[in-house]
Structure 1
Amino acid sequence: MDSILFSRRRAERFAQLLDEANGGRRHHVRSRVDGQLAPLVAVGQRLSVDPPAVEVDPDFRTGLRAMLLATAVREGLGTAPVAGEPAAARPAGTTRTSLLPAVTARRARARGAILIGIAAGAIAVSGISAASENAVPGDALYGMKRSTERAQLALASSDISRGQLFLDFARTRLGEAAELRGDRIGYSAVLDDMDSDTRQGVRLLTAAAVQRAEPASLDTVNTFVAGQRRAVANLLDGTTRADRERTRRSLALLDSIRERSDKLRTAIACGLPAPTTSDTLGPTPSACPGTR
């Protein structure tokens, strides 16, 4: 395969075009490779909008999961280092890294994201990702599941894409919480993670709606809140008092998000300038003239 395909400039331009195609900031530049990259951008955009469904044979999933769990336990994967264990010696010359200019640091982060993506692709192909998708906190493969999510975030092409991913992760945490009902500590911890993912996703999407002065991202937020609230409310049935109290806090967060989304939609409709203040849910709008 032609090594030029993997040149740094070509990769950076492809990332720019994919970002623009998914609603990111336009760079207003042209490159001689744009025509060659256009088909790849179209494929990337289609995959982000309508990812292909992958069916994994149940017997293969069960066998692979059992094998990986046994390997993880045998090799001690996912275990914390022993307290007081000496850290590995730092290679000579690493202090030079801190002196790199900002542009080099950005390129290093970009290369890191590419490496994460390659690793995530290898994981998906090998079937480990499929085996870990049903893992819950405490399982040996749960760390792999969360690492795959971080890789997806690193490769997201825009804040809108990242916001949607965070909301998808919040849905995933909800499924994990359903499996942990009765485990007060584990249940509460997963709901904490769910609420954190929810806030981060909502903050990115509400900020995008304000920056663009259009409510499409708020529609995504409202659709998420409607479905997520019904599913969270179902967790109230047949649980302990402590679990119910913790669940109600997540319900209250979803109610606050819907209220914020409605206020931002009204502010956008009446042409208010972009808010200058924000909180954990994103921009905090002012009331339109003539309203309280």
Structure 2
Amino acid sequence: MDNALFSRRRAERFAQLLDEANGGRRHHVRSRSDEQLTPLVSLSRQVAAEAPAAPVDPEFRTGLRAMLLATAARDGIGTSAQPTEKASAGRSPLLPAVTARRARARGAILVGIAAGAIAVSGISAASENAMPGDALYGMKRGTERAQLALASSEINRGQLLLDFAGTRLSEASALRGDRAGYSGVLDDMDSDTRQGVRLLTEAAAQRSDAAPLDAVDAFVSRQRRALDAVADGASRADRERTARSLRLLELVAERADALRAAIACGQLTSTASDHLGPTPGTCP
């Protein structure tokens, strides 16, 4: 399918979901992209309810306004939806209504982008250092989900998830001594680790290319060092919980090494997989 057509349909569906969330008419249709767009709709509602706690750069406002005006001039946002004489001579009278709905959808998208970009620029900046229990922590996690939904490929999603696992570890370092809070954040970290590694190992196996595994190796190396630093001087309960995450990293490293070897010797014959992705065959 044409990427431009897919993106346009996705954008129009996003506008419909925004309209429904704000009390508009329900369209009674479903799209394969609804699962990815729903977190963005939820985030937009949070953005609308929260006032930016940080000032918006005037240059950002000016640049955003110029971009929107240029898009409106190119796509005709705000222009009349009346059909031309040639079109009206042989087409259904429903065409103006369809054209008007599309114009409104494009307009809603632009308005949403403008409002969301201005608000998120302030709120995201304020929530970037939020910790579990803070008022803006939900916004921080919502922004991460939006990034995942907008990722252009499974490899990018995998790399993002590993980045988020690093963020969870930074949060955990501030929660040492809080047994429930520390364990909960490491649970989230391990979940991000497993999901990210699975996406990258699947990409490597599908392409018979070890390049995605480089990101896994780099993650394991820096995450081990950070976990060792967090465990240093921690309580016995926190050290025991940290040991479970370190064991997961050992399994990840072993899987990446085995998959890299299988790619090198052409033994990607196994179709089995687990929480870390494909389980490669053994080289002769």
- Bin of the TM-score, shorter chain as denominator length: 0.5 to 0.7
Instruction: From the two aligned structures, give the one with the greater helix fraction.
Output: 2
* Change beyond 3 A, Cα 1:250–1:114: closer
* Pair member with larger Rg: 2
Counterpart in 2 of 1:28?
A: none
* Change beyond 3 A, Cα 1:223–1:153: same
Q: Does 1:169 align with 2:164?
A: yes
Contact residue 136 and residue 176 of structure 1 kept, 8 A: yes
CA RMSD of aligned residues (A): 2.9
Structure 2 runs not aligned, ≥5 long: 11-22, 45-112
Deviation string 1:261-286 (CA, Å, 9 cap, x unpaired) is 00000000001134301111000111
CA distance in 2, matches of 1:111, 1:271: 39
CA distance in 2, matches of 1:241, 1:9: 53
Q: Does 1:121 align with 2:117?
A: yes
Counterpart in 2 of 1:141?
A: 136
Contact residue 37 and residue 149 of structure 2 kept, 8 A: no
For residue 237 of structure 1, report the CA deviation from its aligned partner.
Answer: 1.1
Q: Does 1:254 align with 2:180?
A: no
Structure 1 runs not aligned, ≥5 long: 1-7, 17-90
Deviation string 1:76-96 (CA, Å, 9 cap, x unpaired) is xxxxxxxxxxxxxxx9x97x8
Contact residue 40 and residue 146 of structure 2 kept, 8 A: no
Provide the TM-score with structure 1 as the length reference. Answer: 0.63
Counterpart in 1 of 2:214?
A: 219
CA distance in 2, matches of 1:137, 1:253: 23
Counterpart in 2 of 1:105?
A: 31
For residue 139 of structure 1, report the CA deviation from its aligned partner.
Answer: 0.5
Amino acid at match of 1:201: G
Deviation string 1:172-203 (CA, Å, 9 cap, x unpaired) is 00000000001010000000000000000000
Percent identity between the two aligned chains: 60
Contact residue 39 and residue 142 of structure 2 kept, 8 A: no
In the alignment, which of 203, 211, 219 is matched to residue 208 of structure 1? 203
* Change beyond 3 A, Cα 1:274–1:149: farther
For residue 137 of structure 1, report the CA deviation from its aligned partner.
Answer: 0.7
Contact residue 229 and residue 251 of structure 1 kept, 8 A: yes
CA distance in 2, matches of 1:122, 1:250: 38
CA distance in 2, matches of 1:285, 1:205: 14
Amino acid at match of 1:121: A
Alignment of 1:219-238 (within 5 A): 219-238=214-233
Counterpart in 2 of 1:12?
A: 6
Alignment of 1:237-248 (within 5 A): 237-248=232-243
Amino acid at match of 2:230: L
